[in-house]
Amino acid sequence: MTLLYEGKAKRIFSTNQENELRVEYKDEVTAGNGAKKDTMAGKGRLNNQITSIIFKYLQENGIESHFIKQLSETEQLVKPVKIIPLEVVVRNIASGSITKRLGFENGEVFREPLVEFFYKNDALNDPLITDDHVKLLNIASDEDIEILKSKALKINN
């Protein structure tokens, strides 16, 4: 197995199967986009348990993902995917950054779900971006954007 990627929370390894990868969740914790780092025993195990539960739930409810199965306390078997560096946020109620950005009252219920994209870029502090920004930065195609929105809203329902 070859290490293909190492991030703040996980490592990704090749396997002997072409269409499978192994994800190992780490015990490292970070804050401030990686500015502060520490180790927390058991964090990798908890992250693996939580994500395994979520991906199994999504599969059982018709939402396909990269998840194949949990391998151990800290490892999963997954399908290779194209990484799109976006965080997709669906808001039903005003809370957090949107109250500061746009002046909504905390707890205000939206008429319909709001889908927002944040560019996963530590150097830029993961800024909020529009569909047009996504296309200008060549992060994703129109089709990718529609799939992301559609899946996010389906999960939200």
pTM: predicted TM-score of the whole model, two decimal places: 0.85
The CATH H-level superfamily of 3-78 is Phosphorylase Kinase; domain 1 (3.30.200.20)
138 φ/ψ sector (left φ>0, alpha ψ -120 to 50, else beta):
left
Domain range annotation of the chain: 3-78, 86-156
Would you place residue 34 in the very low, low, confident or very high pLDDT band (cuts 50, 70, 90)? low
**Span 45-93, pLDDT tens digits:** 999 999 999 999 999 999 999 999 999 999 999 999 999 999 999 999 9
- CB within 8 Å of 51: residues ≥ 6 apart: 25, 67, 76
Radius of gyration for the alpha carbons in the chain, expressed in angstroms and rounded: 17
- The domain 86-156 having CATH identifier 3.30.470.20: the answer here is yes
**Span 8-33, pLDDT tens digits:** 899 999 999 999 999 999 999 988 76
| Residue 150, φ and ψ in degrees, nearest 5 | -60, -45
Report the distance separating Cα 146 and Cα 96, nearest Å.
25
